[in-house]
Structure 1
Amino acid sequence: MKLDIPVVDMHCDVLYKMQLEPSLEFLNDSKLDVTISRLQEGKVALQTFAIYLSERLGTPRFEHVYKQLEIYDSLIEQKSYTEGLRPLRWKQDAEELRNFIYQEEWKQRNQIWSLLSLEGVDGLEGNLSYLDLIYEKGVRFIGVTWNYANWAADGILEERNGGFTNKGKALIKKCNDIGLIIDVSHLSEAGFWELTDMSEQPVIASHSNVKSICPNPRNLTDNQIRAIITLNGRIGMTFVPWFVKKEGKVTKADLLKHIDHVCALGGADHIMFGSDFDGIPQWIEGLEHPGKYPDLVELLQKHYPETLVRQFMYDNMLSFLCENLKGKP
């Protein structure tokens, strides 16, 4: 029997595309992977929107970050969607969404919840007070780097593999203090270990796979996976084809090797998904946009019990949000 299961997706890059091309229409524009129509088709209950600053914008500035916050606000305010997007910011919101799913109300309504993340702190320009501002605007997850070095730390493609700067270490403390959860995807390996030593809260890898299965620098080593599990963090299996398989055609079935491996390391309760839709120029065959999520669910149910499939698709991450988001003041 085919399962009717909602989805939590912890990473997409649609905001930066809409920043570069303001004429794009979020309802159903064919130039976008992620649209309201496809989210509804894919039964996505919660979508995280990343703020990523394209190199085409020039030197990263806070005004670029703020522009994407404005674009996100405009999506929330849109009245043309059946139910629209509902922002998730607080522990109470996460608990309400979990109850919404448990009571199966999501089947009767097209309500989609949304989260905000920041992918790389370059645009904060080294000003830690901007953390308060973006938190107030709804950002709840923050990736320290993209692939290269910035004022806070080295990214995973920096050959020197440096860790955090002094100001970067202050950023870790500030994030812990105000409730911003740190995302290790794109962070250098040295930075990863500094962070896991310093952070007082769990971390996530929003969109990274398993390096021992596919040796891409952006994937996680077994020791990193174990560390995230020990911290009770979460690992987002991602649909970037070259993070799934080194070469050749990539299919949904190839993702199973990564999921199996994380489970073998004790991480069944820590798996989630972070598609990276709208951040990739190529797609896994059969996973070209969020509307294809039911096909992934159908594949998973052939290999795992229903309880695990539900954990992977939504429950692991919802429990994390309920445990780690701050309560509404």
Structure 2
Amino acid sequence: MNSKPHMKWSIADLHCDVLCKMQLNPQVDFSHPSLDVTRERLLEGHVNLQTFAIYISQVLGTPRFEHVIRQVELFRQHMISPSVGLKPLLWKEDLEERKDTSVGHLEGNEIKQHQGSPWALLSLEGVEALEGNPFYAELCYALGIRLIGLTWNYANWAADGIMEQRGGGLTRKGHELVKRCNELGLLLDVSHLSVQGFWEVLEEAAQPPIASHSNAFAVCPHPRNLRDEQIRALIARNGRIGLTFVTMFLKEQGTVTAEDLLPHIEHICSLGGERHLMFGSDFDGIEHHVQGLEHPGKYPGFAELLLKHYPEELVKGWLGGHALEYLQTNLPSKMSS
């Protein structure tokens, strides 16, 4: 094994659905046993960055911008309140300014952090709740959202999702929204987007898009996974691909274990993506958990598994370095806002 005994690991996870669970159940706080992701488990797993997605459940009825605001309020009350102490990540300067603290910084492909509180980044999963108004992207930006995925699985006013049978791309307002995101510095996430929408976003995005939680279609042919040409295109744009722990995206049938991520890693690396991989667990959006990856506290064991197969430099990049490098390059600058 390439690892040092008892080495601590720092992790970046680009997707979880804690906020949706909190919105649906007011009794759930950030330490509730029903959650996969809690502050305690983030610290246990040495998670240095957790992205919290704002996903508006269909249970709430017609999505409204007030639903987005409510999840932002939950984020502020439960994740970045002084009593919890996660640190909001808004600007590329945030990563630079904290180099000399115990909380963490990027050095090469390694995130130097073994103490302190993780970063918390806000994303929006599907723009249904923007109510057909591209101007609401400005309000998202003002509220601290820094990543936007245009769709969930189905069609909305901006684009078609990957499960929409007609497979359309962006609408006129969807193109307007992408343009506005470019102007603001909002980064674009292509997970869940239709194939045509993927290519249109890739062409129009000013900054490299990411796929925050998608796997390789060639390994597991689920529609939500990325085809080889999509993977190559993200690599060519210097975007990022966050492998996810949704069991049906990893393996078609049978028990799914942490080892089942390895064929996806191998395949994306074979396409030239070894410097573009990261992880987007989809914790709290998962119905069935991967054995060995049931919650963020399991990340150190996963790191040890990876080190049995791959060099330490690559593993550090996949666990967090590549995600932090991307954000340090592509987040908006505080000076230009």
2:232 is the counterpart of 1:231: no
Q: Which residue of 2 aligns with 1:106?
A: 113
* Aligned residue type for 1:121: V
Q: Which residue of 2 aligns with 1:86?
A: 87
Residue in structure 1 matched with residue 48 of structure 2 by the alignment: 45
> Which stretch of structure 1 is more off in the superposition, 139-148 or 196-205?
196-205
CA deviation after TM superposition for structure 1 residue 129, in Å: 1.4
Deviation (angstroms), 1:322: 1.0
Q: Is the 8 A contact 1:132 1:178 kept in 2?
A: yes
The equivalent residue for 2:71 is 68
Structure with greater helix share of residues = 1
Whether the aligned pair in 2 keeps the contact of 1:98 and 1:318 (CA below 8 Å) is: no
Is 1:307 aligned to residue 313 of structure 2?
A: yes
Which residue is 1:248 aligned to?
254
- Could you tell me how far 1:95 is from its partner in structure 2? 2.7
Q: Is the 8 A contact 1:11 1:47 kept in 2?
A: yes
**Structure 1 residue 76 displacement after superposition:** 3.9
Asked whether the 8 Å contact 2:212–2:279 carries over to 1, the reply is yes
Corresponding residue pairs, total: 325
Answer yes or no: is the 8 Å Cα contact 1:6–1:101 preserved in 2: no
Q: Which runs of 5+ in 1 are unaligned?
A: none
What is the rounded CA distance, in whole Å, between the counterparts of 1:112 and 1:312 in structure 2? 17
Q: Once the 2 structures are TM-superposed, how far is the Cα of residue 197 of structure 1 from its aligned partner?
A: 1.6
- Which of the numbers 287, 290, 299 marks the counterpart of 1:284? 290
1:101-120 C-alpha deviation (Å, 9 max, x unpaired): 4588632x231110000000
Q: Deviations over 1:12-32 (max 9, x none)?
A: 000010001111120x21100
- Identity score, percent: 56
Task: Tell me which of 315, 322, 329 is aligned to 1:323.
Answer: 329
Give RMSD over aligned pairs.
Answer: 1.4
Q: For 1:80 and 1:170, how far apart are their aligned partners in 2?
A: 40
TM-score with structure 1 length normalisation?
0.96
1:172-183 residue pairs with structure 2 within 5 A? 172-183=178-189
- 1:50 match: secondary structure: strand
Kept in 2, the 8 Å contact 1:7–1:313? The answer is yes
Alpha-carbon shift at residue 97 of structure 1 (Å): 5.2
Distance 2:259 2:161 in 1: 30
Task: Report Cα offsets for 1:218-276 as digits up to 9, x if no partner.
Answer: 00000000000001000000000110000000000010100111111000110000000
Gaps of at least 5 residues in structure 2 are: none
Query: Residues 10-159 of structure 1: matches in 2 within 5 Å?
Result: 10-26=14-30, 28-81=31-84, 84-96=85-97, 100-101=104-105, 106-107=113-114, 109-159=115-165
Please tell me the residue identity of whatever aligns with 2:262. L
- Mark the CA change 1:65 to 1:248 in structure 2 (over 3 Å): closer, same or farther: same
> Structure 1 CA distance, aligned partners of 2:93 and 2:309?
34
CA change 1:156–1:105 in 2 (3 A) is closer
TM-score (norm 2): 0.94
